[in-house]
A and B are shown apart, each in its own frame.
Chain A
Amino acid sequence: MLQSFQLGPLALPTYPLLLILGFYLGLFWAARTAQRRGLDPDHVYNAGFYAAVAGIIGGRLGHVAFHLPAYAGDPLSILSPNLAAFQPWVALAAALLLVAWYIRKHRLPLLPLFDALASGGLLTLVVLALADFLNGRHYGSPTVLPWAVFQWDVARHPVQLYELAGTLMVILLLWWRLDRLTPGRGGMAAIAGYAAVRLVVDAFRAQPVTIGDGFRLSQVIALVVLVLVLLAFYQTSPRNPAHRPQA
């Protein structure tokens, strides 16, 4: 595991750094997908840049607003390099608001953009799975299988790597079949694919949150999402009689 590394006097945690890398790679992949959907990839980079700036500034300002007396005593600490001093919900809201403004300003078509962002989001999730693996987060249940990894001194399923590999497969499949999916259905396929991955691999996660008679909550959510997306596929199918033009 590699939770952090020392660079001179700075302690650099791997999780937030990989989060940043995942954001960039997700943006890159979204831009590639957007290009295949006939969109200018620069729009994706621009929207991503605005979202990142708004998220960082909004997240820190949110933290300042929630802890005004502490920052009033030491205003320079607003510039603290510690990425933990953020309000994530304010950051997310600021980023989404700016992206919505950008889409509206440039009148971008929503469905192809949805396909691009969902595909890019999958690559971000791949990097986050790697970050989880390096930090021993969301670790697997004990096993004696030959590919077990030692996390927290116990041989465990490398469940984060299962998730990483499964999500990569979904990305590749989606890239291969993208041209056969109408705009909007690419994004739906991305969500369905990730839900299917979580439905399978979360069986090997340790310490799950359970509901009812010991059912793993994340698996239940994944199955519900998967079925809902497949139903949406069914409803929006061009061959659905409800969508056929009336004679």
Chain B
Amino acid sequence: MSQRFLSLLIFIVLTLGSVWIWFNRVPASDSAAAAQPAIPMAGHPAPDFTLPTLDGQSLRLSDLRGQAVVLNFWASWCGPCRAEMPELEQAFRDRAGGGLVVLGVNQGEQPAIAADFVQRFGLTFPIVLDQELQVSRLYRTNSLPTTFFIDRNGVIKDQVIGQMNTALLEERLRTVYP
């Protein structure tokens, strides 16, 4: 490439690039209007839902606003879910008074099976039943376990797919419960 061609190319790139950037800038009014949509992704508000609890009440996610929430999707047949339950229970017991809620979402099982599981593992955190899988679909949980870390403002800070060890759970908890 000749020097003249390169000089011309730099000039064209600089000019057209600047115009393109200017043309595609985001006006402040637009960015304010385009508030983050509620989708199951870090940085976005957690999609809201209401599900029945094991004791026949109903629980709405947005009612937990003001507390950090660890939203854990599980099922009794899922080995890695069983393996991480003691860690989740411990995290809940250690921090329950300080504004942390672990919310277990049982995926597609009968209440009796979920209740038996809860008793067997001595779980004290709230469990909701997603029998029709509508919340699992809302959160795109194709595999178990999947855990979302939601801060006190209802914003998802992190998501972990697969079993968490203690260190990983502690690390991700700090994103919502410093």
A residues with a Cβ closer than 8 A to B are 1-6, 9-13, 63-64, 66-67, 70-71, 73-74, 77, 80-85, 136-137, 152, 154, 196, 199-200, 203, 206-208, 210, 213-216, 219-220, 223, 226-227, 230-231, 233-234, 237, 239-240
Contacts and interface: CB of A to CB of B under 8 A. Distances in A.
Contact of A136 (B41, B80, B162): B41
Contact of B143 (A5, A74, A83, A137): A5
Given A203-B24, A234-B3, 11 more contacts: A5-B142, A9-B79, A11-B144, A67-B166, A81-B162, A84-B168, A203-B23, A216-B26, A219-B20, A219-B24, A230-B10
Contacts of A237: 1, 3, 6
Contacts of A83: 162
Interface in B119-173: 140, 142-146, 160-168, 170-172
A206 B24 CA distance: 11
B142 A210 contact: no
Given A85-B167, A216-B24, A220-B21, A13 B161 contact: yes
Nearest to B22: A215
A91 to B, nearest CB: 15
21 contacts: A4-B146, A6-B142, A9-B79, A9-B80, A11-B80, A11-B162, A77-B165, A80-B163, A82-B162, A82-B168, A83-B162, A136-B140, A206-B34, A207-B36, A210-B31, A216-B26, A223-B14, A223-B17, A226-B13, A226-B17, A234-B6
A3 B168 contact: no
Contacts of A74: 165-166
Interface residues of B, number: 48
B37 interface: yes
Interface in B65-103: 78-80
- Residues of A contacting B: mostly: mixed
Contact of B20 (A1, A200, A233): A200
A161 to B, nearest CB: 18
Contact of A239 (B2, B14, B41, B164): B2
Contact of B6 (A82, A223, A230): A230
B50 interface: no
B115 interface: no
A11 B145 contact: yes
A142 B178 CA distance: 35
Contacts of A6: 142-144
Contacts of B9: 230
Contacts of B27: 214
Given A136-B41, A239-B2, A71 B24 contact: no
Contact of A214 (B26, B37, B140): B26
Contact of A10 (B13, B17, B80): B80
B58 interface: no
A239 B3 contact: yes
Q: 10 tightest A-B contacts by CB? A: A11-B143, A67-B167, A77-B165, A70-B167, A203-B24, A214-B25, A70-B166, A223-B17, A4-B143, A214-B26
Contact of B142 (A4, A196, A208, A214): A4
A167 B18 CA distance: 21
Given A137-B41, A223-B18, A3 B167 contact: no
Contact of A11 (B1, B6, B34, B161): B161
Nearest to A84: B160
